[in-house]
Structure 1
Amino acid sequence: MTESKAYLLGGGIGSLSAAAFMIRDGGLPGENIFILETNPIVGGSLDGAGNPIDGYSLRGGRMLTTDNYECTWDLFKSIPSLTLAGKTVFDETIEFNELHKSHSMARLVDTRRAKVPVSSMGFSMPNRKELLELSLASEAELGASCITDWLSPEFFETEFWYMWATTFAFQPWHSAIEFKRYLHRFMLEFTRIETLGGVKRTIYNQYDSLVRPLQSWLAKQNVHFYVDCKVTDLERHIATNKLVVTGIHYQQGGESKTIAVKNGDLVFLQNGSMTDASSLGSMTSAPKQLTKQDCTSWTLWEKLAAENSDFGNPAAFNSSIAESCWESFTVTLKNPAFFDKMCKFSGNEAGTGGLVTFKDSNWLMSIVIAHQPHFIDQPTDVQVFWGYALFPDRVGNFVPKPMAECNGAEILQELCGHLRFDFDTVASANCIPCRMPYITSMFMPRLHTDRPVPIPHHSKNLAFISQFVEIPDDVVFTVEYSVRVAQMAVYQFLGIDRQIPPVTPHDKSLRVQFEALVKAFK
């Protein structure tokens, strides 16, 4: 296989991980690997950009744990830190979290700006029965059903739901299967959901702490990066009932180009994107409301799926923006007043509290105050925090319009209203809102056949690596899912005789089961 070439279409964490696994475990030379990315930088949804003058911006931040995320840490134990000589990314992350342990003391806040008691999950006996029935149902029984098909309306008013939904970004109309998978995968986190004690953080935002060191290592292995490069089509034919990719058509710098894919070469496609058609606003303008016509990631997958059902059904995920859209915002401050008041109110120093959710917010708004600096180039006199809201289509409590129509200044006004902070605390702040129409599209109700497996049965040299691929037991909307899919596809294609780290079965632990039972009855 050392003469083979690998073409990775999309520059997200899945493609970067696949490239690393091919080099580290498959012995493929880095110069034989080509990553083609539509945007000017790689990293996909793990982004982080800006500066202290124009403001920093993060579309999102994925929750990490060291009790799960087996494939992610298997990879990053091999990637050198950019900032600590002789350390890996895994080493620096563990050391950082030993110094800054998560223990939220203001997980939920009500309309009176009072901390909501969260020692109890707020379940009634019918709630417990419903949750147990859902968690024990098979995926065949759950099918394409929604969470609301299994849980009664009062369940969605429990303290548990407010904490679980905002930690993982679930909506009541999302897939019952995905909800069940989360209950099992993160049963250990259920036992400490009120403190977020299992959450681990990278030193900086995940672009600076995960993407940049991984890209740097790949570049030193002579991996080729083609950015501002839009793949438009694949030349393909069917041989012995298998799809064979023979060419890659792309546009770059206004020119149409083609790569010939030879016998023995491999192609990895990142099918779909949860941050496709995302748009940024400013302090004076709301983000543009982009639609599917503005997307770049779905078309090629749709072409392939139309030819063979083995390649999935993208329409299950990209057909209802109203059900998959929410909005985030990043705030850059040059006055410590907001951070000082927030730390005093919450009882948490920056970087130890996790999400603070305003449970009575019409937008269901949450914010997280990260350890500073949150960007690798962030000056010491600048602070950055991030927030998001699950219901941007609803009129605010303090601003009489939907969040989707609000600029950054109006979002700050709404936030200060919930906290009862004077607007002076954020008067010089720069708030950059971000609308993401497909951010929870992978949570949409689906059938088992709607997601292709990493290497479909009818594929000879094409693999799928994204959040829209089917692998058993694991959960989408995590860095781990993208890395695991990439590792599975690479190992299968290259015939690598090394065990992929299995999903840790916390839900089979008698201790974890007992602690979860105790938590459910508090």
Structure 2
Amino acid sequence: MAKEKCDRHAYFIGGGLASLAGAVYLIRDFAFKGENIHILESLDILGGSNDGIGTPKEGFVCRGGRMLNEETYENFWDLFHTIPSLERPGLSVTDEILEFDHAHPTHANARLIDKDGSVLDVMSMGFDNSDRMKLTKLMVEPERNLDNLRIRDWFSPHFFTTNFWYMWQTTFAFQEWSSVCELKRYMNRMIYEFSRIQTLEGVTRTRFNQYDSLIVPLKMYLEDFNVDFNLKCTVTDIDFKNTEDPEEIIVRRIHYVRGNGKAGTKSNDNSKTDSKTENKAESKNGVINLKKKDICIFTCGCITDNSDEGDFKTPARYLPDNPPSADLWRKITAKKPGLGNPEPFFGHPDETKWESFTVTSNGDKLLQMIEKYSRNVPGSGALMTFKDSSWRMSIVVAAQPHFKNQPENQTIFWGYGLYPDRVGDYVKKPMIDCTGEEMLTELLHHLHFEDEADDIMKDVVNVIPSMMPYVDALFQCRAKADRPKVIPKGSRNFAMVGQFVELPKDMVFTEEYSVRTARYAVYKLMGSDKKVLPVTPYNKQPEVLLRALNTMYR
């Protein structure tokens, strides 16, 4: 038995949170040898969409932020209880995050901003009776009746003018054309947060950006167990064994190419640990032959595929063609049934794109002005949404510093626009064509800070736009069968994880979803009866439902 364990290997395709979490579960729960765990990642950095990069000289960038929640992320918190904090010896990463968050609680005082610059009172959701009836019906509607239905197919036009929609949409990045089934899952899974959506008190903050706070500790934990990281290693195909049963799925070969990192990405300069994971193999092309007991776990789709960054004077490029994770997914669906359908998610980039921007400044003049305006010190607020902006623009000011290598005299904040094809209200260009300078100019006008724009601009180090063609792909209108199961029917050694697989009751676009899919995949492939922590049924708890009902009628 010991020899069998020693000879068994695990191959993770993709270096995001799901793969890193899966590696931890193999080591923690099955005493898997770290050197027998191989993570194959096409970029030169781990973390997937959990990013945070930059330098004081060139500016910092977060393409986005993943909301954490203390009450509902069951497997996420359990996983990070295993990972030691790098900042607080003796604590786990979970302990560190919750300690920081409890010391810096979220209570947004300026959730929605009117076009005249006034902060709106959003205690009322703004529903009429039709909205209430439709929302209530959606929460109990069987999912089998919601295939290929969009949110706007379910609700009347009035729904999209309510305070609720402006807040819920921008908190989670929904669009009117997103899947109504995904909205249903969010309403049931996040019903606990519904009654406090106007303050976002349920948002749990990490001390730094999510790369520094989550990915770096995970990576160092795995390095201590000698996990084999293969960066700049792109998997180009997966071969399945030919068997008498066409539905049987057994991975036998993994094809890869080394050294072809994706255009438009940057190395992470704020973590010295990346140097330990450089590829040592010299061959450019290669094939991995899996043995009988080996397993393969594939992250089928990445929301930050084909992302590009601009700068203060340069727009980010829109590069929707040939997203690599989707291309690999398409190849394997042509070989075996039951592996899902990437087309609804990766076939409509004009529906799935939005654009973010990160502002780095010397000094804190602008942050002090925003603090006075919003009545929130940095890190205590949440999204500020300019509801009438043509771009549907929002910003977030995190606690400072937000990066480990951020100097004391620098400040950063992040924002995004859900409608990048629309012309700005002040800068008369589509957001997708704007430089970082133009995005900041548009924001300053919405804040009505234009009189001080020249002084503010003098302090700016950089404003980095990030165009992401597939960032909303996971919300696309789809049928249930379009999402593959974590363990496809007939699989013997293959699992699919990440944001595009099917997990009943849970909601995508969350860290919990990546971790939960990884845990389920590892437990099943290892033949274990260990249990994945279940979704907490807040939507069945009378006191939570009563608060939600009161909120609907506020």
Shared topology, TM-score over 0.5?
yes
Structure-2 residue corresponding to 1:98: 102
Report whether the alignment pairs 1:513 with 2:545.
yes
Report whether the alignment pairs 1:118 with 2:122.
yes
Question: 1:147–1:174: 8 Å Cα contact kept in structure 2?
Answer: yes
1:318-337, aligned counterparts within 5 Å? Answer: 318-337=346-365
Report which stretch shifted further, 274-283 or 129-138: 129-138
Structure-2 residue corresponding to 1:279: 308
Question: Which stretches of structure 1, 4 residues or longer, exceed 3 Å deviation after superposition?
Answer: none
Structure-1 residue corresponding to 2:468: 436
The CA distance in 2 between the partners of 1:280 and 1:470, in whole Å, is: 31
The CA distance in 1 between the partners of 2:498 and 2:442, in whole Å, is: 35
The CA distance in 2 between the partners of 1:150 and 1:129, in whole Å, is: 11
Question: 1:25–1:496: 8 Å Cα contact kept in structure 2?
Answer: no
Report whether the alignment pairs 1:357 with 2:395.
no
Give the aligned residue type for 1:405: D
Shift of 1:240: 4.6
1:363-512, aligned counterparts within 5 Å? Answer: 363-421=391-449, 422-423=452-453, 424-429=455-460, 430-512=462-544
Structure-1 residue corresponding to 2:159: 155
The CA distance in 2 between the partners of 1:72 and 1:398, in whole Å, is: 42
**SS of alignment partner, residue 238 of structure 1:** coil
Shift of 1:198: 0.6
Shift of 1:376: 1.2
The CA distance in 2 between the partners of 1:324 and 1:102, in whole Å, is: 29
Question: 2:494–2:525: 8 Å Cα contact kept in structure 1?
Answer: no
The CA distance in 1 between the partners of 2:112 and 2:328, in whole Å, is: 42
Report whether the alignment pairs 1:185 with 2:189.
yes
Structure-1 residue corresponding to 2:258: 252
The CA distance in 2 between the partners of 1:306 and 1:9, in whole Å, is: 18
Of the three residues 356, 373, 376, the one matched with 1:348 is: 376
Shift of 1:473: 0.3
Report whether the alignment pairs 1:289 with 2:318.
yes
Report which stretch shifted further, 303-312 or 53-62: 303-312
Structure-1 residue corresponding to 2:214: 210
The CA distance in 2 between the partners of 1:36 and 1:212, in whole Å, is: 17
Shift of 1:497: 3.3
TM-score (norm 2): 0.93
Report which stretch shifted further, 302-311 or 76-85: 302-311
Same amino acid, percent of matched pairs: 46
The CA distance in 2 between the partners of 1:362 and 1:148, in whole Å, is: 19
Give the aligned residue type for 1:473: K
Structure-1 residue corresponding to 2:51: 47
The CA distance in 2 between the partners of 1:152 and 1:287, in whole Å, is: 35
1:361-412 superposed Cα distances (whole Å, 9 cap, x missing partner): 0000000000011011111111111110100010001100100000000000
Question: 1:26–1:496: 8 Å Cα contact kept in structure 2?
Answer: no
Of the three residues 272, 290, 306, the one matched with 2:334 is: 306
Shift of 1:153: 0.5
The CA distance in 1 between the partners of 2:259 and 2:385, in whole Å, is: 44
The CA distance in 2 between the partners of 1:462 and 1:412, in whole Å, is: 46
The CA distance in 1 between the partners of 2:244 and 2:191, in whole Å, is: 45
The CA distance in 2 between the partners of 1:382 and 1:208, in whole Å, is: 17
Of the three residues 28, 36, 42, the one matched with 1:38 is: 42
The CA distance in 2 between the partners of 1:83 and 1:268, in whole Å, is: 31
Shift of 1:137: 1.1
Give the aligned residue type for 1:463: A
1:191-230, aligned counterparts within 5 Å? Answer: 191-230=195-234
Question: 1:466–1:485: 8 Å Cα contact kept in structure 2?
Answer: yes
Structure-2 residue corresponding to 1:75: 79
Can you give the 5+ residue segments of structure 2 that lack an aligned partner in the other structure? 261-283
**SS of alignment partner, residue 298 of structure 1:** helix
The CA distance in 1 between the partners of 2:433 and 2:459, in whole Å, is: 21
**SS of alignment partner, residue 379 of structure 2:** coil
Question: 1:338–1:426: 8 Å Cα contact kept in structure 2?
Answer: no
Shift of 1:428: 2.8
Of the three residues 139, 143, 150, the one matched with 1:139 is: 143
Question: 1:337–1:425: 8 Å Cα contact kept in structure 2?
Answer: yes
Shift of 1:114: 0.3
The CA distance in 1 between the partners of 2:518 and 2:178, in whole Å, is: 25
Structure-2 residue corresponding to 1:56: 60
Of the three residues 84, 90, 97, the one matched with 1:86 is: 90
The CA distance in 2 between the partners of 1:471 and 1:88, in whole Å, is: 27
Question: 2:303–2:473: 8 Å Cα contact kept in structure 1?
Answer: yes
Give the aligned residue type for 1:521: Y
Question: 2:238–2:332: 8 Å Cα contact kept in structure 1?
Answer: no
Give the aligned residue type for 1:375: F
The CA distance in 1 between the partners of 2:126 and 2:239, in whole Å, is: 56
Aligned-CA RMSD value = 1.0
Can you give the 5+ residue segments of structure 1 that lack an aligned partner in the other structure? none
Of the three residues 252, 255, 261, the one matched with 2:290 is: 261
The CA distance in 1 between the partners of 2:170 and 2:354, in whole Å, is: 12
Shift of 1:246: 1.3
**SS of alignment partner, residue 252 of structure 2:** strand
Count of matched residue pairs: 521
**SS of alignment partner, residue 292 of structure 1:** coil
Shift of 1:307: 2.4
1:230-263 superposed Cα distances (whole Å, 9 cap, x missing partner): 1111232232521221111111137111112111
